[in-house]
Structure 1
Amino acid sequence: MAGLLPVIAGQQWRLLVRDRRLAVLGAALLLALAAAAIAAAALHGAREGERRLAQAEEARVWAAQGPAHPHGAAHFGRYLFKPVSPLATIDPGLLPQLGTSLKLEAHANNPARSRAIDGGTALDRFSGLSPATMLQMLAPLLVILSGFAAFSGERARGLLRQELAAGVAPTALMAGRLAGLGATVALLPLVAGVAGSASLWLAGGAAADFVALLWMLLGYGLYLFAFAALTLAASAAFASARTALVVLLGFWAMATLFVPRIAPSAAEALAPTLSGPAFEAAVTKAVLEGPSGHDPRDARLERLRQDTMKRYGVTRIEDLPVDFNGVSLFHGEALSTQIYRREFAALYDGYESQAAIQRGFALLSPFQAIRPWSAALAQSDQHAHRRFLEQADGFRYALVQTLNRAIIHRPKDGSEGLYLADVAAITRDAKFAPAAPQMHEALDRHWIDLAILALWSGFATLLAFAAARRLGKASA
C-alpha cells in the first residue's frame, strides 16, 4: 500500500493540473492573494504615515495652547490615533468595526471614533478582500471544486471499478488522493505565506510578526485540509458527482455564510450587553449616586470638604493652604475613572462571553475557529482593541490628575482671578507609548481554536476513510 501512495497522489495531482478551468481559478486566487497582500502593505504604510503626522500635529497644538486653566485644558483634551499592527495587512479582523481615534478628557472615558465601516458602502460590512478573507471563504470553494469528482466522477466513467478490481485497496485510493489534493491545498497557505512575508517586510514587521505569521498559516493549513478531507469523503459517499457538489456547496455556504451571521445574534441573545446610550446612562447614574447607589454627590463633596479642613487643621475653606477646587476635581476624577473602568470591564467581559458562545458554533463550522485564531495573531481582534483603550485610559488619568495637582498647589498670591498656567510645561513628561500585545498572549487565549481546527481535520479524515471502506464494500 505504501508504494502505491506516491503513484495515486501523483495521478491526482496530474488530473488537477490538466483541468484548465481549475488551473485558471487556482492561478487567479493565488495572484489575488499576492496582490491583496502587497496592496494592503502599501495602504498600511500610507495610513501609518498619516497617523504619525496627525499625532505630531496634535502634540504641537497641545504645546501651543499657551497659558490656560489646567481644568479647562483637561476638557480641551488630547487625541490619540491608534497604531495598527503590520499583521493586520493580512487579516484586518475587526479593525473596520473598531475606531481609530480617541479623545482623552476629564471625567470621561470616550469610545474610539472614526470607524472605517462608517464611511464605506454596504459591501464593506462583509470585510474587504484581504488575504485572510480569501483563505477563509474562497480557498475552501476552490478545494471543493478541485476534489468533488475525485471518486464520484471516476465511478461514473467506470474507472473506479477497474482500480478496485486491480487489487488497490479503497483506503489506499483515499490516502493517495488525499495526499494529492492535500499537496494542492498546501500551495494556498504557502503562497499566502510568501505574499504575507513580503507584505510584513514592506510594512516594517518585526521578527515576532513573522513567527506569528507561521502560527497563523498553521491554522489555515488545518482549516483547508479539513475541507479537502470532507470533499473527498462526500465524493466517495455519493454515487453522483452532482450530488456530491451540491452537498459540499451547501456545507460551504452554511459554514462560511450562514453560521457566521447567526452566531453573533445568538451570542447577543444569550449574553446581552449594554448599548451605547444605556452604558452612558449607567455610568452617569453611578457618578451621581456613588458606586453603591447610596452615596449622593453632594454628601460626598461635603464629607471631602470636612476631611480636607480637618487634615490641614483649619475651620474655613479659605484658610486651606491648597485649592479645594483642585482637591475636589482630583477626587472626582478618581471616582469617575473607577466607575468607568468597572463598567468598561463588565462590558468587555460580556464581549468575551459572547466570543466563547460563538466559539461553540465551531462545532458546526471550522470558520468559527479560524477567524478568531487569525485575528488574534494579527492583533486585529477585540482583545487587542481593549488593551489599547485600557492603556490610553491610564495615560488619560495620569494626564488629568497632573493638571488637577497643578490646581491643588496653585500659588497663593491673593489673586481671585482665573488661574492660568503653562499647561505644556506641566505635562511635559506625559508621553503615550502603547505596548503591543505579545504573541504568547494570543496563543494562550486561542489555543482552543487551533485544537478545534485540528479536531475538524481529524474528524474529516476519519469520515473520508470511513466513506472509502464503505465504497469498497459497495463495489465488492
Structure 2
Amino acid sequence: MGRPLATTVAGQQWRLLMRDRRLFLLGFALLLLLCTAGLTGAALHARQEAQRRDGQSEEAQIWAQQGAANPHGAAHFGRYLFKPTSPLAAFDPGLLPQLGTSLKLEAHASNPARHRAIDGGTALDRFGDLSPATMLQVLAPLLIILSGFAAFAGEHARGLLRQELAAGAGPTMLMAGRLAAFGGLAVGLVAVAALASGAALGMAGASVTDFGALLWIMAGYALYLFTFAALTLGASAAFTSARTALVLLLAFWAVATLFVPRIAPSIAESLAPTLSGPAFEAAVTKQMREGPSGHDPQDARLERLRAETMRRYGVSRIEDLPIDFNGVALFHGEALSTSLYRRHFAALYEGYDRQAEIQRGFALLSPLQAIRPWSRALAGSDQHAHRQFLEQAELFRYELVQGLNRAIIFRPRREGAGPYLADVAAITRDARFTPTPSSKREALSRHGPDLAILGAWAAIATLFAFAAGSRLGRSNA
C-alpha cells in the first residue's frame, strides 16, 4: 500500500510544479538554452575542425614546397600543428580556452601551445562560455532550489502539511514521493541535455566511444543534480519558514558553485606551486649551458664529443671524418635538450596533478569540485588530454629534427660546394603526425574517485532529507 501512496504524492507534486507558471517558464527557458547551446557548440566545433584541417593542409603544402634548404635551417623554420578537439568538447569545453590550439615545432625547443581562446577576449570571457555543462553545473541546481524550497515549508505555513499527515500520509512517505518528483525533475534535465548533446555528437560525426562517454558523463550529472534535489527537500522539511530554507539553500548554492571553485585553484597553487613560463624556460636554459649536474659546461661537452667521434673513426683531424661533425653535434645537442625539456615538463605536470588532488579535496565542500573534473576528463577537454597531445607532438618534433640532423651527418662530401642544401620535403617524406585521442577507459579509471564522491554526496543528501522528513510528524503534532 505504501508504494501507490508514494506514487500519488510524487504525481501530485509534479502537477504542482507544472502549474507554477514562473517555474515552468524558467524550466522551459533552461531546456531551450541547453538545446541551443548544444547544437550551437556542435556547429562551432564543426567549423573549427574544418578550419584546423584546412590550416594543417596548408602548412603541409608550405613545408613541402620550400625547395632546397639547409636541413638545420629548416628545423629552425619549423612546422606547425593545430590541436584537434573531441566532439564532446561541444558539451563541455573545459580548459580548452586556456590551453591553446596551435604548436610550433622547431629545433632545440619544446614550445607551449599558443593562440588561446581567452587571449584578447572581453571581460565576459572570464566567466567562460555558456556551455551545456556550465548550465547543468550552475543554473540547473538553482532551478531545482527555486522549485523545491517551499515543498514542505510552504505547506507547513499554509496548514496543508497537517492535513496530509492527518489523512494518513506518513512523513517518510511524503518525503519519498516528493523526492521521486524532484529526482524526476533532475533526471529530466539531464535527459534533455543528453538528447541535445547526442544530436550534437551525431552532427560532429562522433564515434561509438564518444556516445558511451556521454552516457557516463550524464550519469555523473544525474547524481550531481539529485544531490541538490535531496538537499533542497531536506532543508524545506527541516525549517518551518520557506524564507529561511531559501536563504540557506541559496547560500549553499553560491558557496558550492561560485565561491569554492574560485578559491580552490588559488589554494592548490599556493600549496603545490609550479614554475611560471619564464622561470621554466630559464631553468632549462641554465641546465643546457651548465649540464644537468651543473658541473658540465657546454664547451666541455662539445670538446669531449669531438674527441670521441674522431677516436671512433680513427682520425686525428676533424676534417678527415667521413661524416659531418656539425650534424653529430646537432644530433647530440638535440637529444640533450629534449631530455631536459621532458624532465622539466614531467615535473611541471606532476605539480599540476598534485594541484588537482588538492582541488579534489574541496569536493567535501562542493559537489561541483567532483562533477567538473569528471565531465572534463570524459569530454577530452582537461589538462591530461592536453598533456597527451603535447607529448605526442613532442615525439613527432624530435623524430623530425633528428631526421634532418642525420641528413647533415651523412651528407655527400663535395669540396667547395658552399652551404649544404637538400630537399627537405624528401628527407621528411615519411613524417606524419597522427595524434591519438585520450582513452575514455583510462579517464574512467583515473576519475573513478570523483564519481564515488558524487555518489557519496547523493547518499548523504538523501539521508539528510529522510532524517529531516521524519521530524515532520513531531513538529506538526
TM-score when scaled to structure 2? Answer: 0.99
Partners in 2 of 1:472 and 1:228 — Cα distance?
21
Partners in 2 of 1:157 and 1:203 — Cα distance?
52
Measure how far apart 1:416 and its partner are: 5.4
> Bigger shift: 395-404 or 294-303?
294-303
Look up the match of 2:71: 70
The answer as to 2:314 corresponding to 1:325 is: no
Measure how far apart 1:167 and its partner are: 2.4
Partners in 1 of 2:451 and 2:221 — Cα distance?
10
Deviations 1:402-452 (A, max 9, x none): 000000001012235110000000000000000001110110110000000
Look up the match of 1:372: 373
- Please give the residue correspondences for 1:10-409 in structure 2 after superposition, counting only pairs within 5 Å: 10-409=11-410
Measure how far apart 1:162 and its partner are: 1.2
Measure how far apart 1:471 and its partner are: 2.2
Counterpart of 1:402 in structure 2: which amino acid?
G
Counterpart of 1:82 in structure 2: which amino acid?
K
Measure how far apart 1:207 and its partner are: 0.7
Counterpart of 1:367 in structure 2: which amino acid?
L
Partners in 2 of 1:472 and 1:131 — Cα distance?
40
Measure how far apart 1:3 and its partner are: 2.5
5+ residue gaps, structure 1, are none
Counterpart of 1:151 in structure 2: which amino acid?
F
SS of residue in 1 equivalent to 2:119: helix
Counterpart of 1:405 in structure 2: which amino acid?
R
The answer as to 2:436 corresponding to 1:435 is: yes
Counterpart of 2:399 in structure 1: which amino acid?
A
Counterpart of 1:197 in structure 2: which amino acid?
G
Measure how far apart 1:390 and its partner are: 0.2
Deviations 1:10-38 (A, max 9, x none): 01101101101111000110011000000
SS of residue in 1 equivalent to 2:74: helix
Measure how far apart 1:2 and its partner are: 2.1
Counterpart of 1:7 in structure 2: which amino acid?
T
SS of residue in 2 equivalent to 1:2: helix
RMSD: 0.7
What is the count of residue pairs matched by the alignment? 476
Counterpart of 2:376 in structure 1: which amino acid?
A
The answer as to 2:464 corresponding to 1:454 is: no
Deviations 1:296-324 (A, max 9, x none): 11111111001101110111100100000
> Bigger shift: 414-423 or 70-79?
414-423
Partners in 2 of 1:381 and 1:72 — Cα distance?
35
Measure how far apart 1:57 and its partner are: 0.5
Partners in 2 of 1:429 and 1:180 — Cα distance?
60
> Bigger shift: 1-10 or 424-433?
1-10
Partners in 2 of 1:272 and 1:126 — Cα distance?
24
Look up the match of 2:472: 471
Which consecutive aligned stretches of 4+ in structure 1 deviate over 6 angstroms post-superposition? Answer: none
SS of residue in 1 equivalent to 2:104: strand
Partners in 1 of 2:426 and 2:120 — Cα distance?
38
5+ residue gaps, structure 2, are none
> Bigger shift: 188-197 or 161-170?
161-170
Measure how far apart 1:473 and its partner are: 2.1
Counterpart of 2:105 in structure 1: which amino acid?
L
Measure how far apart 1:166 and its partner are: 2.1
Measure how far apart 1:280 and its partner are: 0.4
